[in-house]
């Protein structure tokens, strides 16, 4: 509906709405006319079984008045509330403002419940069964679409249960990731690497770093080309959390670890985005949600005794 916001569309909606009400009024009046003084009532022209006809009787008075009252109610409603194009109505009410007011009232009521967890480290929050239960419900609302109900993710969406983190998995890092989001970009390297054969050689070398299936000869040929990747992934291929560059030696792949997939990633690059939830949830809820995500890759014992690294 974002394309139907111009003044022309507003005029069209106003015209169509009022014309529809006028048509309903005309039909009601036409069908409420009394029969002629002779008392002879015409038929609708429908006939069944030879002599069974449908009489064209006027609407009963009570029925007609129901239609009149309905039309009058519609006119009063359209005068008070939005409904005629861009006109807001005399009361100035909008769904957006009512929703925002209800959200504000709810936030005011539940903020103390969540804010008390801001005084605790993420592992301490994760050790609280009530906090984990609240975090799980938020996870099932906001995160399950991408990371799955079990947190194991899917192609292009990270597994949250394996302890392998692009930016780090400590409490403050998780809080920042959820609150501010992340933008992951692997630039296309086809121009920098060279021909399709060079890309295949480099892909074989990348696979060799984690012991994946590869051609040793082609991997050796691709090793010098890896210098173009070392700026992000490091000379040893173990990645860089500060950049979100993945570790290429652990056999954990976000998009797949086949030769074809790795070659495609090198040639065309990848782009991924984790949306920010800080403004939507607020600090307290983000803290609780981060604690639940943290607990997916840690045992309850870890949550009870492991401090969060600064």
Whether residue 258 is contained in a domain is answered as yes
> What is the distance between the alpha carbons of residues 159 and 196, in angstroms, rounded to a whole number?
31
The CATH number linked to 129 is 1.10.760.10
More confidently predicted of 44 and 164: 164
Say if residue 175 is in the same domain as residue 283: yes
| Mean of per-residue pLDDT scores for the chain | 89
Task: For residue 128, give every residue at least 6 positions away whose Cβ sits within 8 Å of its Cβ, in sequence order, or none.
Answer: 117, 120, 291
Assess contact for 178 and 291: CB atoms under 8 A: no
Task: Say which range, 33-37, 112-116, 302-306, has the weakest mean pLDDT.
Answer: 302-306
pLDDT in tens, 283-294: 999 999 999 999
- The mean pLDDT of 166-188, rounded to a whole number, is 94
Say if residue 161 is in the same domain as residue 207: no
Structure tokens at 310: 């600064």
Assess contact for 165 and 260: CB atoms under 8 A: no
Assess contact for 266 and 255: CB atoms under 8 A: no
pLDDT in tens, 30-89: 888 776 666 666 777 777 887 788 777 788 889 999 999 999 999 999 999 998 888 888
Residue 2 is predicted with a pLDDT of 52
Binned at pLDDT 50, 70 and 90, residue 170 comes out as very high
Whether residue 10 is contained in a domain is answered as no
- Cα→Cα distances 178→84, 117, 128, Å: 41, 16, 20
Whether residue 212 is contained in a domain is answered as yes
Using a pLDDT cut of 90, give the percent of the chain over it: 69
- Cα→Cα distances 161→187, 246, 298, Å: 27, 16, 8
Whether residue 89 is contained in a domain is answered as no
Coil/strand/helix, residue 185 = strand
Residue 20 is predicted with a pLDDT of 95
Say if residue 266 is in the same domain as residue 194: yes
Q: Which residues pair with 272 in a beta bridge?
A: 184
Task: Say which range, 100-104, 260-264, 297-301, has the weakest mean pLDDT.
Answer: 297-301
Is the pLDDT at 267 greater than 90? The verdict is yes
> What is the distance between the alpha carbons of residues 196 and 199, in angstroms, rounded to a whole number?
5
Say if residue 197 is in the same domain as residue 242: yes
- The mean pLDDT of 154-181, rounded to a whole number, is 93
- The mean pLDDT of 88-96, rounded to a whole number, is 88
Whether residue 49 is contained in a domain is answered as no
Residue 54 is predicted with a pLDDT of 78
Whether residue 16 is contained in a domain is answered as no
- The mean pLDDT of 240-251, rounded to a whole number, is 92
- What residue numbers bound the domain in which 281 lies? 122-181+275-305
Cβ neighbourhood burial of 101 (10 Å; 0-12, 13-18, 19+)? exposed
Whether residue 194 is contained in a domain is answered as yes
Residue keyed to tokens 């992951």: 184
Tally of structural domains, the chain: 2
Whether residue 56 is contained in a domain is answered as no
Say if residue 151 is in the same domain as residue 265: no
Is the pLDDT at 241 greater than 80? The verdict is yes
Phi, psi of 28 (to 5 degrees): -65, -45
Say if residue 126 is in the same domain as residue 267: no
pLDDT in tens, 115-132: 899 999 999 999 999 999
Residue 234 is predicted with a pLDDT of 94
Say if residue 161 is in the same domain as residue 279: yes
Residue 177 is predicted with a pLDDT of 96
Single out the residue of 36, 24, 123 nearest to residue 72, CA to CA. 24
Say if residue 250 is in the same domain as residue 142: no
């Amino acid at each position: 509906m974002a394309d139907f916001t111009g003044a022309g569309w507003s005029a069209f909606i106003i015209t169509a709405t009022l014309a529809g009400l006028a048509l309903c009024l005309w039909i009601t009046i036409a069908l409420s006319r009394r029969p002629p003084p002779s008392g002879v009532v015409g038929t609708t022209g429908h006939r069944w079984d030879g002599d069974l006809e449908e009489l064209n009787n006027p609407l009963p008075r009570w029925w007609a008045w129901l239609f009149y009252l309905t039309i009058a109610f519609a006119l009063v409603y359209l005068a008070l509330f939005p409904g005629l194009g861009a006109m807001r109505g005399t009361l100035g009410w909008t769904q957006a403002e009512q929703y925002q007011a209800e959200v504000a009232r709810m936030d005011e009521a539940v903020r103390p419940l969540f804010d008390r967890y801001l005084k605790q480290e993420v592992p301490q929050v994760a050790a609280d069964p009530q906090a984990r239960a609240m975090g799980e419900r938020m996870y099932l609302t906001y995160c399950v679409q991408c990371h799955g109900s079990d947190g194991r993710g899917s192609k292009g969406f990270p597994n949250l249960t394996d302890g392998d983190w692009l930016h780090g998995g400590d409490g403050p890092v998780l809080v920042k990731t959820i609150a501010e989001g992340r933008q992951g970009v692997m630039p296309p390297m086809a121009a920098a690497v060279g021909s399709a054969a060079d890309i295949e050689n480099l892909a074989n070398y990348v696979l060799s770093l984690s012991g994946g299936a590869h051609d040793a000869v082609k991997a050796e040929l691709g090793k010098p080309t890896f210098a173009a990747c070392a700026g992000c992934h490091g000379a040893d291929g173990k990645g860089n959390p500060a950049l979100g560059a993945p570790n290429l030696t652990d056999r954990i792949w976000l998009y797949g670890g086949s030769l074809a997939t790795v070659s495609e990633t090198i040639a065309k690059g990848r782009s991924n985005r984790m949306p920010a939830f800080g403004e939507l949830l607020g600090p307290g809820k983000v803290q609780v949600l981060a604690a639940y995500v943290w607990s997916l890759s840690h045992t309850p014992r870890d949550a009870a005794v492991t401090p969060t690294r600064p």
